[in-house]
Structure 1
Amino acid sequence: MHRPPATEAEVAEELAAVRPALLPRYTAELPGARAAVLTRLWRALAHEPLPWISGRVRGAHSLALRLADGRTLYGPHADPYATSAYVTGVRLDRERQVDPAVLMTALAVPHGAAFAAELADSAASLALSRADADHSKEWPDRDWEWEQRVTDGHPFHPGCRSRPGLSVADQLAYGPEHRPVVELGTVPVPADGCLVSGGWPEELRDGERLLLPVHPWQAEHVLNRSYDRWRPARPLLSLRTLALPEDGPHVKTALSTRLTSSVRDISAYSVRAAAPLADLAEELVARSAGLLHITRTLGAVCAHSPDLAALLRESPQMCAGPGERVLPVAALATTGLPEAPGWMAAFTRLALTVGLRLLDLGVALEAHGQNLLVILAADGTPVRLVYRDLADIRISPARLRRHGITPPPLTGRLITDDEAALRRKLFGSLVAGALAGTAGSGPALRAALSAAVPDLADTADLRALCEGPLPAKALTLMRLSPQTPGDQWASLPNPLVLEPGPSDQ
C-alpha cells in the first residue's frame, strides 16, 4: 500500500528515526516552505477559473476574492509569474491563514480535503528538500549535478513537492535533491510478450528474454517482485529518470505513484510512438539552424503494462562541446545568470526563436523547465537548446506537410491541427512556464519579452503570443477536478499588455 500524504509532524517523526541530524534544519525550513506553497496556491486562486470563486476585486493595495458561499478572501496582488514566496498569509473574512493546507480545508470546496492533504505533504517535503540542499557556489560540470541543485520543484504548482507515495526514507534514497546513488535493477520478461520500439541493447538481453530496467521503489511497492541489481544511477528532476555513469544513457523507468499532478508510468502508446518521434526529431533538428538538439531515444520496451516499462535516452551531456555546460532551465535560478544585464533577454530570444520555429513547422514542444535544457558557453552565454522527452508534444500534420515534412504514422493525443491547442502547449510551457520561472516576476518577464520580440520573425503565432492572454495550465483546478480528464487552462495577463484596472470582476 502506498504511503498517504504526510503532515509536517509525521515527516518530522520519520526524519527523527532515519536522519535525526537533519531534523533541526527541517524545522527551520517549515515556515518558508509553507509560504512558498501558499504563494503558489494564492496565484491559482487569483487567476484560475475556479467555479466557487464568484468575483475578483483589485483594490489599490490588495486583492479580494468573493466566494460563492458569501465569504471573502483577502490577500496581496497576485503576480502570476512570481517565484519568490511573497505571500506569508491571507485573510478569510476575519481569520488570518498562514498554512496552505489549513486554508484549503477552511474553504470547504469539492475535493478540497484531499487537495489539502497534498498541500500539507508538499510543504513538508519542500522543507525536507531545502533542509538537505547543496549550497555550494561552484558550478557543477555534469548535467545530473545541476538537476540535484533544484530543491523547490515546479515553480507554480502548489503541489510542487507533493510525494504522497514516498516515505521520508524513500525521498532521501531517491529524490535528486538529496544526491543519492540509486541501484537500478532489471526484471527479465519474455521478448515475445513485449512491445519494443527502436533498438534494445545486448546488455539488456538474455536469450529469448529482455531485461527491463526497474526502479527499486517500483519493484518493491508496485511489482512486488525481486530483481537483479544492474547499474548505479543518479536520479534526475523527474525522479523516475536516472543518469547512468560516464555520460551513459538516461533511463526512464515506471514509477507508479502520484508526483505533483500525475501518476508516473510509461504507457504502451508512448513506447509505440518512441521510434516515429525519434525520426521526426532528426528532421526538426536539421531545420533548427544549429540552435537545437533533441536527445535521441535509443529504445523503449513495455511488457504490456505501464507498470513494467522502460525507455533509454541519450544523455544531454553528449550535446555539449568543450568548455560548455548543459543544464535544465529549472536550474538556471541557481546560477545567478538571470539577473545579469542582458542575459534574460538573450535567453528569451533563443528560446522563442527555437520554439516558434518548431511551432511553425508543426510541432509544439512541452518546453517547461524540466524538459528544456540550455547549453551555456564558458562565460555563461546561452548558445543552444536541448530538448528531451517527446512524450507530450503536439504535432500538426497539416503544418508539417506545408513544410514538406511527412507526418509520423501516429494517431491519438499527440496529433492535432487545432491552432489554439498547439499554441497553448508551447506558450503555456515555454513562456508561462520556463521563461516565467527563470525571470521570476511579471516585470522581469515583460522586460525580457520586450527586448526579444522585435528580433523574431513576424508570424501569426508570434502575434497571438503578443496580443492575447497567456495560457497556462490551471494546475489547482485540475487537482480539484479529478473527474475531468486531461489538461484545463487559465488565461493569465499578458506581460506585454497593460494590466487590468483597479476593479476587475
Structure 2
Amino acid sequence: MHRPPTAEAEVAEELAAVRPDLLPGFTAGLAGARAAVLTRLWRACAHEPLPWVAGRDAARGGLVLRLRDGRRLAGPAADPYRTDAYVRVVHLDDVPYDDPARLTTDLAVPHSAGFAGELGHSVASLALSRTARENHPDEWPDSDWGWEQRVVDGHPYHPGCRSRPGFSVADQLAYGPEHRPVVGLGLVPVPASGCLVTGVWPRDLRDGGKVLLPVHPWQAAHVLKRPCEERIAARPLMSLRTLAVPGGPHVKTALGARLTSSVRDISVASIAASATLSSFGEELAARMDGLLHMTRTLGAATAHSPDLAAVLRESPRVYADRGEHVVPVAALATTALPRRPGWPAAFARLALTVGLRALELGVALEAHGQNLLVVLSAEGGPLRLVYRDLADIRVSPARLARHGVAAPGLPPRMLTDDPVVLRRKLFGSLVGGALAATAGSGEALREALEGVVRELPRTPDVVALREEPLPVKALTLMRTSPEDTGDLWARLPNPLHRG
C-alpha cells in the first residue's frame, strides 16, 4: 500500500532546500524527538481517562493497557511527572512502535487519524527546533527574550509539544523563538472609528485618524492575505505570537495557526476586557506583600476581528532590581538551579505561598511555566513571582467578597464559586505543570513539596492538595474529543503520597 510522505520526510525535503547545513542535525535528532513525543503520549495513555482504554495493569516493572477492542498496549511504568524522554518503544500486542504518529495511526481509535498527523508534525518540528539548541546552563541571558528562547522542546507534557502544521520549515526558522530570529512586525492602518481600543494606545502607533495595529508577518501573508511593510523589529518569545520589542513592550499578536492545541487569534471580548483585567490584577498583586507582580496591559486594540488585533504588555523585567533576573518557569530546567540542594523546596515554598494566598482571596491563576515567571537574586535564589496574561484565570465572587475585593466588569466565563473548578485551575497548572516540570520526576516533586506543604495552614484548599489526586488537563483526550470544547481533566497520583 502506498503511504503519503511523513512529516519527517516533508521537513527533511524542505530543509534540504532552505538550510541544507541543518539537515544532518535534523536527521540525527529524529530518534530523540520521537522518544520525547512518545513519552508524552505514553503518559496520556497511562493516566488520562481515554474512552478506548478498558483497564490498566502493572506487569514486571511496566504497564499494560487493555484496550476495549481486546488488544494490549504495553510499555514501561509511567511516571506522570517525569520529563526526560525515557519511553523509546511500546508494544501494541507483539508489534514494537518507536514512532508516536505510526502508533496512533494503527491504534485506529476515534479521531486518531488527525491526531496522528499532529504528532508527526510535533516530532519533525521538535527535531528541527533542536538543531538550534545550545546547552549553556551556567550562562544566563541578559535579555528577557534570551531566557524565553532557551525553551526548545515546548510543552513538557503535551504530545503536540512542537506541532506547527501551519508553518513551513522556512516559517519555523524565520519565526520560531528557538532559532533566535529578528521578526519584522507589520503595521496595518485601521480607521479609529472601526477600531476598539482599550487602555492607552501609543502615539507612535497612530497616524492621524488611523490606529496602526502590529501584525505578525505570517498572519499578514496567510490569514489577512495582504502585503504588510515590516516596521517593528522584535524578538519572539516562547509563545511565538508574543514578541519583545527591545527597550519597549511585549506585543501579543493574532496568529491564526494551530500551535500545540490552539489557534492563536485574539478575541474581541478579550480586548474589551483587557483594561479591567489589568486593573484587577494590580489590585490582587497589591494584597500579596510584594511576593507577586502582575504585568500590566498598556493598551489593546482590535479591528473588531480576532484576526486583526494586538495587545501591548509591559515586560516582566520592569519588576527586577539591579542584578536580578526574571525567568519564565519553563526556562528554569535549562539552568543548574533545580539541581542545587534546597533550591526546589525554596521555589515550591514561594510558588505555593503565592498561589494559595491568591486562591484564598478568590483568584485561581493558570500558573503554568509560560505564564509564571520568577525573580531570581544574582545568586539564583527565588525572591518573588511575576504573572502575565490574565485571560484564563478563574475568579470566585464569593471569596472576593469575604475579603472585601470588588470585581466589577470581569468576563462571566471567568466567574465561579465551585472549589473544584478553582483548584483544578491552580493545582493543574502550578503543581502538575510548573513545579512538576521544574522537578522533572515524581520523586523530585514530592521532595520539593513535602516539607513545604506541612508548613501551610490546614485550609480546605491545602487539604485537597495534600489528600486528593492531582487534577491536570487531559491534553490528549482534549485533542481527540472535538465534540468537547472545554477543558477535560485527568487525576494523577498525588505526588505527596509515597508508593
TM bucket by the smaller chain?
over 0.9
- Number of paired residues? 495
Partner of 1:190: 191
Question: What is the CA–CA distance in structure 1 between the aligned matches of 2:200 and 2:416, rounded to whole Å?
Answer: 28
2:486 counterpart of 1:486: yes
Q: Distance in 1 between matches of 2:17 and 2:126?
A: 19
Q: TM-score, length-normalised on structure 1?
A: 0.97
- State the partner residue of 1:295: 295
Secondary structure of 1:405 counterpart: coil
Q: Can you list the C-alpha shifts for 1:181-214, whole angstroms capped at 9, x where unaligned?
A: 0001110111111222211111111121110000
Residue 5 of structure 1: CA displacement?
A: 11
Tell me the alpha carbon deviations over residues 108-135 of structure 1, each in whole angstroms, 9 at most, x when there is no partner: 0011011001101001100111111123
Question: CA offset at residue 6 of structure 1?
Answer: 6.3
Aligned 8 A contact 2:241 2:255 in 1: yes
What is residue 62 of structure 2 aligned with on the other side?
A: 62
Q: 2-side partners of 1:6 and 1:323: how far apart?
A: 48
> How far apart in 2 are the matches of 1:475 and 1:60?
28
Q: Could you tell me whether the CA contact under 8 Å between 1:8 and 1:120 is conserved in 2? A: yes
On the 8 A contact 1:5/1:121 being kept in 2, the answer is: no
- Number of the residue aligned with 2:168: 167
Deviation per CA, 1:288-317, whole angstroms, max 9, x where unpaired?
Answer: 111111100001111111000000000011
User: For residues 220-254 of structure 1, what are the alpha-carbon distances to aligned partners after superposition, in whole Å with 9 as ceiling and x for unaligned?
Assistant: 000011223321000001000000012x1000000
* 2:184–2:217 contact (8 Å) kept in structure 1: yes
How far did 1:410 drift? 2.3
Q: Matches of 1:30 and 1:372 in 2, distance apart?
A: 30
Q: Per chain length, whose mean CA-contact separation is higher, i.e. which structure has more relative contact order (CA < 8 Å, sep 6+)? A: 1
* Residue pair 1:5, 1:120 contacting (<8 A) in 2 also: no
- Hey, what does 1:141 align to over in structure 2? 142
Tell me how far 1:281 sits from its aligned partner: 1.0
Matched, 1:9 2:2: no
Match in the other structure for 1:218: 219
Other-structure match for 1:41? 41
1:147/1:237 contact within 8 Å kept: yes
Question: Residues 487-502 of structure 1 correspond to what in structure 2 (within 5 A)?
Answer: 487-499=487-499
Q: Do 1:142 and 1:325's aligned partners in 2 also have CA atoms closer than 8 Å?
A: no
How much does 1:412 deviate? 2.6
Aligned counterpart, 1:150? 151
CA distance in structure 1 between the partners assigned to 2:310 and 2:179 by the alignment:
23
Counterpart for residue 318 of structure 2: 318
Tell me the distance in 2 between the aligned counterparts of 1:467 and 1:362: 21
- Please state whether the residue corresponding to 2:35 is helix, strand or coil: helix
Identity of aligned residues (%): 69
Partner of 1:181: 182
Q: Is the 1:38–1:100 Cα contact (8 Å) retained in structure 2?
A: yes
CA shift, 1:462, in A, is 1.0
Q: Partners in 2 of 1:410 and 1:393 — Cα distance?
A: 11
Number of the residue aligned with 1:131: 131
Deviation at 1:411, TM superposition (A): 3.3
Aligned 1:181-260 pairs, distance under 5 A = 181-246=182-247, 248-260=248-260
Question: C-alpha deviations, 1:332-370, integer Å up to 9, x for none?
Answer: 001111111010000000000000010111111110000
After the TM superposition, which segments of 4 or more aligned residues of structure 1 sit over 6 Å from their partners? Answer: none
SS at match of 1:490: strand
2:346 counterpart residue number:
346
* Contact 1:268/1:304, CA 8 A, preserved across alignment: yes
Matched position secondary structure for 2:412: coil
- Give the partner amino acid of 1:154: H
Letter in 1 for 2:444: A
* Shift in Å, 1:17: 0.7
Alignment CA distance shift 1:198-1:453 (3 Å): same
1:94-117: per-residue Cα shift (whole Å, max 9, x none)?
A: 101110001001100011011001
Quick one: distance in 2 between partners of 1:466 and 1:305?
44
Per-residue CA distance 1:58-77 (angstroms, 9 max, x = gap): 12411000000000001111
Q: Secondary structure at the match of 1:184?
A: strand
Structure 1 residues 365-420: Cα deviation after superposition (integer angstroms, max 9, x where no partner): 11000000011101110101110011111111111111001113123321111111
Provide the rounded CA distance (Å) in 1 between the counterparts of 2:328 and 2:142. 13
Say which SS state the counterpart of residue 257 (structure 1) adopts: strand
Q: Quick one: distance in 2 between partners of 1:408 and 1:17? A: 55
Structure 2 CA distance for aligned equivalents of residues 121 and 324 of structure 1: 38
Q: Residues 315-464 of structure 1 correspond to what in structure 2 (within 5 A)?
A: 315-464=315-464
Asked if structure 2 preserves the Cα contact closer than 8 Å seen for 1:277 and 1:390, the reply is: yes
> Secondary structure at 1:471's aligned position in 2?
strand
Moved more, 454-463 or 45-54: 454-463
Whether the aligned pair in 2 keeps the contact of 1:217 and 1:255 (CA below 8 Å) is yes
Q: How far apart are the structure 2 equivalents of 1:481 and 1:269? A: 25
1:408 aligned counterpart, secondary structure: coil
Counterpart Cα distance in 2 of 1:408 and 1:23: 55
Output the CA distance in 1 between the equivalents of 2:84 and 2:236: 26
Q: For the Cα contact (< 8 Å) 1:219–1:227, is it kept in 2?
A: yes
Spell out, residue by residue over 1:433-485, the C-alpha distance to the aligned partner (whole angstroms, 9 max, x if none): 00000000000000011021123233211111111000000000000011210
Letter of the aligned partner of 2:488 in structure 1?
Q
2: distance between equivalents of 1:76 and 1:408?
Answer: 51
User: Structure 1 unaligned runs (5+)?
Assistant: 500-505
Instruction: Give 3-state SS (helix, strand or coil) of 1:413's partner.
Output: helix
